[in-house]
Amino acid sequence: MEKFAKLTELVSAGGCAAKIGPGDLQQILSGLAIETAPDLLVGLDPADDAAVYRLNDDTAIIQTLDFFTPIVDDPFLFGQIAAANALSDVYAMGGRPLLAMNIFAFPCGLGAGTLRAVLEGGASKVKEAGALIVGGHSLEDKEPKYGLSVCGLVHPDRLITGAGAKPGDYLILTKPLGLGILTTALRGRVVDEAGIGGPLAEAIELNRAAAEAMAAAGANAATDVTGFGLAGHLLQMLNASGVSARLEAASLPVWPQAVELADKYQPGGTKRNADHFGGQTLLTSAVAQALKPLIFDPQTSGGLLISVAEDRLEGLLAELRSRSVSTAAVVGRIGPAAGDPRLIIE
């Protein structure tokens, strides 16, 4: 038997922290022609990670794609996290996944068993989502990468985007922050996978129940919190909706271990996020300052951030509870249009 490197040792950055930074991405995309069409309900809008196209009055398709490098060594677990993360962009729009295709790039030397375990992990989450894997594409690559392109369905009238937040809305977050810090500590061999079992179990949790609760209760806007961190994804929502927000740092759900490790184990993406979104963000309290590494921490398969009208808040919380969504933290409120800093965390 050959001995192979651990998955996370083959990559220079893990998970959504491996994303191109928001500033660089803006530069790359700035010259591109943006196509529009009457039935294209969501295109290259920066607040949304998926595109939505209306087929008829009752049906729109959601198309999305997400893949990244391993954040854990266990190949089955990596497959599960990557698939839950890719499916999440459909859930964030209130949709239901229908079909998925694998995107798979691995060093062949890792061995068929390891590679199959990644695909099996992904397939298990796609099956749980009630969707079908119908193909994919693979290549050999020194740095492993895995993810899915997902096609989902939504009723055009029940589509939820990042552009609908309204002043007075409450903001709800459905998973704790800090996975980027924890998986950076994992790469540093400071913790092992068993030691961060709770956060990893949450990372493989589908955002399906949260999406169903949102559809049942009615929400004005939503996004999933991934590589740009809480502040980045919220700011994309604020900018698209033309509103501001105030969060209460003490109400943010965080992994306690991540708070402990935050000084020493920040992924590279944290600084990129803070550099890019920091000018729009003001941290006014000592608590908010202390949580800065978590506020900008790139999440992989993070929770939904939901903007809900005041008169629907209790209904949404009840729907989340009845579906056993373990985290449903009311973290702040939407305010009127404002100049920068339009995101204030106190």
Amino acid at 193: E
Coil/strand/helix, residue 61: strand
Nearest-approach distance from CB 50 to Co ion, in angstroms: 7
Known catalytic residue at 16:
yes
> What is the spatial distance between Cα 170 and Cα 157, in angstroms, rounded to a whole number?
22
Among residues 7, 10, 11, 16, which one is catalytic? 16
- Between 137 and 189, name the residue whose CB sits nearer to Co ion: 137
**Cβ-closest position to Co ion:** 49
CB of 256 to Co ion, least distance (A): 26
CA separation for the pair 126, 138 (Å, rounded): 18
Q: Of 66 and 74, which has the nearer Cβ to Co ion?
A: 66
Closest approach of Cβ 281 to Co ion, in Å? 19
User: Considering beta carbons, is residue 49 or 212 the nearer one to Co ion?
Assistant: 49
Binding interface with Co ion (CB under 5 A):
49, 66, 89, 137, 224
Comparing CB distances to Co ion, the nearer of 119 and 283 is: 119
In this structure, what are the phi and psi dihedrals at residue 326, rounded to the nearest 5 degrees? Answer: -75, -30
The amino acid at residue 336 is: P
DSSP string, 302-339: --EEEEE-GGGHHHHHHHHHHTT-S--EEEEEEE----
In the bound state with Co ion, the residue whose beta carbon lies nearer, of 49 and 319, is 49
User: How many C-beta atoms surround the C-beta of residue 192 within 10 A?
Assistant: 12
- Please state, as a whole number, how many other Cβ atoms lie within 10 Å of the Cβ of residue 24: 12
- Minimum distance, C-beta of residue 61 to Co ion, in the bound complex (Å): 17
Q: How far is the CB of 261 from Co ion (least distance, A)?
A: 25
Q: Which residues of 305-326 are buried (b: 16+ CB within 10 A; e: fewer)?
A: bbbbbeebbeebbebbeeeebe
DSSP for 200-247 reads HHHHTS-SHHHHHHHHHH--SEEEE--TTHHHHHHHHHHHHHT-EEEE
Residue count of the chain, please give it.
Answer: 346
Catalytic residues: 16
